[in-house]
Structure 1
């Protein structure tokens, strides 16, 4: 799973609020521009995002390997017919464009996750959304970014433990139920530990967060975000 990695790329040095602005504007542009020409332009922006983050496209796609098969299969399923002519290529065009649009949004999000610490993401959200709502949203994002890798690791350990006990000899539904039950037990256990840790640390609504400041290097990112929003409006 793609996670934050310390670095000195151009995207690493950007203010997280500027990167969030690019993500939001890119997602809006993806919904507005559904033609091949529009998606080509968005593909250029996504590629520049990966370059700025010094993130390999193959690495980003590998982190999305569980979602990519669904994006590839969806157009094929849409084009299949139960009778002659059995396969209608024209019916696969719109689903294929939608899959490409989703994939591009994923790639831009991957560049953000790769270059933004969880604390910075939380700080950016709490500064953009005032009051306790911003604190709740910031904390929720921080927990998601921290918990997903742990849940995935727990599931892998459960699978490895089942394999060591000849779990591969069981039926598929039994293997799935055992892995799901084990994963849920560990997830709830981690949630209980988190709640205890928050109480022990006197979790407050006004935590000390890193200082954020826009600089001149954020101007290109903000310009891209404004350009994408203008393209949506036009």
Structure 2
């Protein structure tokens, strides 16, 4: 699976991208403001509603962010280790575990946005929300990341598959990691060069004609949800 836009007719697909950005920002602020188990339980319920509105399975969302999971697990695991008896203190891992889970919820909600919003709509939402050259720069950056990241992930999967086909699984773990990383970095630089050439060949526009954005009746309740999340974070 790749973290990219998928056409559909869900509630989230029909929302204005600016509304979806507002909900995502509100959720992130609320999740970082309420770090207690009770607050994270409420945030989990909100995340489930967001995924349902986007017709996205929680399992699919977790698969999309699986590359971040080892880092989220490593934090609590390291915090639980001590230099003396009892060697493992689970009480020390509770805080980092809640923080990791909070980040995981934010990532899961972000997958719902990416899978329901075309790249051009995201760029239009950013450039029309943030005025001037700053908005154009952020819009271009977001568009390139959304288009480039799935390609890079596919390259890494291709390198790993090729290594396995050549009995690379019999090599030590460190060597396997080095081979995949080197192949991924090499392909990333090659794709970056081709991307720059393609942008010049197509007379890349700094301020192109972007799609029109319109708020609908569905955006009203969603904006209320975004406002409610920000108010909850301020309480």
TM-score by length of 2: 0.92
What's the counterpart of residue 122 of structure 2?
121
What's the counterpart of residue 39 of structure 1?
40
User: How far, CA to CA, are the matches of 1:74 and 1:183 in structure 2?
Assistant: 26
User: How far, CA to CA, are the matches of 1:63 and 1:190 in structure 2?
Assistant: 22
Cα displacement string for residues 15-40 of structure 1 (whole angstroms, at most 9, x for unaligned residues): 00000001111111111111112111
C-alpha deviation, 1:171, in angstroms: 4.0
Segments of structure 2 that go 5 or more residues without pairing to the other structure are none
Segments of structure 1 that go 5 or more residues without pairing to the other structure are none
Cα displacement string for residues 96-152 of structure 1 (whole angstroms, at most 9, x for unaligned residues): 211221111111111111111111111111111111221111111111111111111
C-alpha deviation, 1:206, in angstroms: 1.8
Kindly report which structure 2 residues correspond to 1:147-162, keeping only aligned pairs within 5 A, or say none: 147-162=148-163
User: How far, CA to CA, are the matches of 2:105 and 2:29 in structure 1?
Assistant: 12
What's the counterpart of residue 191 of structure 1?
192
CA-atom RMSD in angstroms: 1.7
User: How far, CA to CA, are the matches of 1:228 and 1:65 in structure 2?
Assistant: 26
What's the counterpart of residue 93 of structure 1?
94
Kindly report which structure 2 residues correspond to 1:142-181, keeping only aligned pairs within 5 A, or say none: 142-181=143-182
C-alpha deviation, 1:176, in angstroms: 2.8
Aligned CA distance change for structure 1 residues 225 and 175 (closer, same or farther; 3 Å):
same
User: How far, CA to CA, are the matches of 2:55 and 2:81 in structure 1?
Assistant: 39
What's the counterpart of residue 227 of structure 1?
228
Aligned CA distance change for structure 1 residues 36 and 191 (closer, same or farther; 3 Å):
same
User: How far, CA to CA, are the matches of 2:126 and 2:39 in structure 1?
Assistant: 29
User: How far, CA to CA, are the matches of 2:186 and 2:71 in structure 1?
Assistant: 28
Contact 1:159 1:179 in 2 (8 A): yes
Q: Which runs of 4+ in 1 moved over 6 A?
A: none
Instruction: Tell me whether 67-76 or 28-37 shows the greater mean CA deviation.
Output: 67-76
What's the counterpart of residue 20 of structure 1?
21
Residue correspondences, number:
234
Aligned CA distance change for structure 1 residues 210 and 69 (closer, same or farther; 3 Å):
same
User: How far, CA to CA, are the matches of 2:8 and 2:123 in structure 1?
Assistant: 19
User: How far, CA to CA, are the matches of 1:102 and 1:136 in structure 2?
Assistant: 26
